[in-house]
Chain A
């Protein structure tokens, strides 16, 4: 136990960095994922195709490959970063957006087709039908799977620790090396701080789900 108390500043710093990575990547992924889902249902075949190919490639390859691309391949192509955090955020949001896109698409499919027909019949353009009628209803129905994906994102952010980013898991490795006699407690501490983010996310999901549920 002592090892956790003694190293609380490191834990706290790691916690904040993990939180930062997760929040920034989460927001980007939600936006990009929703845009990808919108592209997937759009009348433009090229957009549909792009979205499908992106989602299928990204969600079917390991996260470490996304990190490898962002941290190693992009700099070789001339896209360099001052901090490895930026590469981590690119990798995490690119990876997570594919899953968000699929969840939002399933939500779009769950909105009765009559809603879109009614919107079209009063003269709305496709973009208005999508943003005013379909997506607001679709997003409400997919809150539970979206939160699942965000919880996975928080845990996936630990991969950044292997790519020179000092976050919760990165500190965990350092502390475990420094305290070889108390590795179990070091890891218990790490797990605790991950739970500090993920468990409230679950509660948030329940709360929001009840709050925005639409009766039909």
Chain B
């Protein structure tokens, strides 16, 4: 089975299609992400970039096509899928920290309940991760007591605690106040430097320039361009991308 996957692609999407009723939200998507690569997905709203991101760990089902993580096809709902999701970290736009659990418990819950790690070890790892994203002193608090930026950094730590092979970011800074965006992006840039494989849906062009290996531009459910950040920002090929970029730069 693994012979179908080209080279060292960690995430591969082949001819993926999805409809919401009449709306064709993903049109024949082909995308390969290699180990250690940081791919930023940008595009106007409604272009299907979030759906693409969520399809990779099957929070959205697809109509046809083939999605593989590390050579393994996404299983249908059930134990196998849960196991695969443990290897795919996900960070949401609205943080989605468990509202009834402390910051520390948010990070340890996965390792303890899903991986069977002992509480002592999970606590130790979690504290190290929370220190790393700069919210170690918030460990005993509840999510609602933290600012948005802090909550999102905890969410990143929660995903990292599972030691994922790849991290998905679904507009991680879109719900944040401007002054909190950088603290989250800094953590993500650091993560990228450390060699984490990342797929990032974002509107932060600065992050794309700084940390991305590739920029994927989506419009109307299609991948319109797939280029290096340098190439994409200085010399976009499609008129759709030119139009999109010009709108960003006028303000």
Contacts and interface: CB of A to CB of B under 8 A. Distances in A.
Contacts of B248: none
Interface in B144-166: 144-145, 155, 158-159, 162
Contacts of B142: 214-215
Contacts, number: 76
A124 interface: yes
Contacts of B158: 118, 122
Nearest to A116: B96
B100 A121 contact: no
A122 B114 contact: yes
A122 B100 contact: no
Contact of A117 (B59, B99, B114, B144): B59
B86 interface: yes
Interface in A116-155: 117-125, 128, 132-133, 136-137, 140
B126 to A, nearest CB: 13
Contacts of B82: 120, 123-125
Contact of A140 (B86, B94, B100): B100
B85 interface: yes
B50 to A, nearest CB: 12
B113 A216 contact: no
B113 A128 contact: yes
Contacts of A114: 92, 94, 96
A118 B97 contact: yes
Contacts of A124: 82, 110, 113-114
Interface of B: 57, 59, 77, 79, 82-90, 92, 94, 96-100, 109-110, 113-115, 142, 144-145, 155, 158-159, 162
